[in-house]
């Protein structure tokens, strides 16, 4: 069977990237974390003083989009496809709370989404890709071979992100993380363009009480069944 395009969507911290990375490794595919692209654009806007009173100055950001170089490179040490912004590896910087608290404002700008979706579609041209995000199954790859919609409660997701941040140089309290996740859930699912929603043909995978390996096994079983059908 030809290589597949696999779309993984869901709310923040449902474990999309973890699952996508494990799946890509198992299948020998490329993993693209589309959220990292919106985060890199947000980092660019922060570093270039494009926020005023907590609001993004769109007229400054939009003309800059096409001059940004955003690409991924595989880090052979940790097996992670890491994001570069204008030649700098920003994989860690983009996970800071400051970026997390502003990224939804950036991700709802039409020009930003068009720019990111174009890049994402180009990355999928050769198939053999696992992409995770919010609108992958609905907008980026509506014809994806497999669409997974990951789901877990806000409390479970906040605890996961909190524990992840504790391991970095930019930790935050559980309450801060929970508040941020709840705010992003609301903005991501109610924004005008490409809001987060389950594609009609996506399969829901509940993983609140599953480990990353158990989630992987569940999805690999689905993929094997799919391959047997073809
Ligand atoms: O997956 P994440 O939390 O790193 O994503 C960061 C933000 O980017 C999130 O608040 C919503 C936005 N996003 C989006 O709008 N569309 C995507 N395909 C991926 C992420």
Burial class (CB in 10 A: 0-12, 13-18, 19+), 97: middle
Q: Is the CB of 12 under 6 A from ligand 1?
A: yes
Instruction: State the total domains in the chain.
Output: 1
Q: Is the CB of 141 under 6 A from ligand 1?
A: no
User: What's the whole-model pTM score?
Assistant: 0.92
Q: Is the CB of 115 under 6 A from ligand 1?
A: no
Determine, yes or no, domain membership for 230: no
**Mean pLDDT across 11-18:** 92
**Mean pLDDT across 109-128:** 96
pLDDT in tens, 201-217: 999 999 998 999 999 99
Structure-token match 């890709």, residue found:
129
Q: Is the CB of 39 under 6 A from ligand 1?
A: yes
Q: Is the pLDDT of residue 220 over 80?
A: yes
What contacts 7, CB < 8 A, 6 or more positions away? 131, 132, 136, 137, 140, 141, 144, 146, 147, 148, 199, 202
Give the nearest ligand 1 atom to 107 CA: 15
Say how many Å lie between the CA of residue 216 and the centre of ligand 1: 21
pLDDT in tens, 50-80: 999 999 999 999 999 999 999 999 999 998 9
CATH, residue 187: 3.40.50.300
Q: Is the CB of 112 under 6 A from ligand 1?
A: no
Nearest CA to ligand 1 atom 15: 107
Say how many Å lie between the CA of residue 63 and the centre of ligand 1: 21
Determine, yes or no, domain membership for 228: no
**Mean pLDDT across 89-104:** 94
Task: Give the relative orientation of helices 97-107 and 110-123 as an angle to the nearest 10 degrees.
Answer: 100
Determine, yes or no, domain membership for 106: yes
Determine, yes or no, domain membership for 229: no
Determine, yes or no, domain membership for 44: yes
Task: Give the relative orientation of helices 34-47 and 97-107 as an angle to the nearest 10 degrees.
Answer: 100
**Mean pLDDT across 91-120:** 95
Determine, yes or no, domain membership for 160: yes
Determine, yes or no, domain membership for 165: yes
CA distance 195 to 108: 9
Domain hosting residue 12, numbered range: 5-223
Determine, yes or no, domain membership for 78: yes
**Mean pLDDT across 35-48:** 98
CA distance 114 to 89: 23
Say how many Å lie between the CA of residue 107 and the centre of ligand 1: 7
Q: Is the CB of 14 under 6 A from ligand 1?
A: no
Q: Is the pLDDT of residue 229 over 90?
A: no
Structure-token match 């508040």, residue found:
179
Mean per-residue pLDDT of the chain? 95
């Amino acid at each position: 069977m030809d290589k597949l395009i696999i779309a993984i969507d869901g709310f923040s911290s449902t474990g999309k990237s973890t699952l996508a990375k494990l799946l890509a490794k198992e299948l020998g595919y490329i993993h693209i974390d589309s959220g990292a692209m919106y985060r890199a654009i947000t980092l660019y806007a922060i570093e270039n003083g494009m926020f005023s009173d907590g609001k993004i100055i769109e007229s400054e950001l939009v003309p800059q989009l096409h001059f940004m170089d955003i690409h991924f490179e595989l880090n052979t040490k940790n097996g992670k496809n890491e994001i570069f912004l204008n030649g700098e590896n920003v994989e860690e910087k983009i996970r800071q709370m400051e970026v997390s608290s502003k990224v939804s404002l950036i991700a709802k700008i039409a020009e930003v989404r068009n720019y990111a979706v174009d890049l994402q579609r180009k990355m999928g041209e050769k198939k053999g890709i696992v992409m995770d995000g919010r609108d992958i199954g609905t907008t980026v790859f509506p014809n994806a071979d497999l669409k997974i919609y990951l789901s877990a409660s806000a409390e479970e997701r906040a605890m996961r992100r909190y524990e992840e941040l504790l391991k970095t140089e930019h930790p935050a309290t559980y309450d801060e993380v929970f508040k941020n996740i709840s705010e992003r859930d609301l903005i991501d699912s109610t924004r005008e363009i490409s809001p987060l929603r389950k594609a009609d043909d996506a399969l829901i995978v509940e993983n609140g009480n599953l480990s990353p390996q158990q989630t992987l096994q569940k999805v690999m079983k689905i993929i094997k069944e799919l391959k047997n059908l073809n």
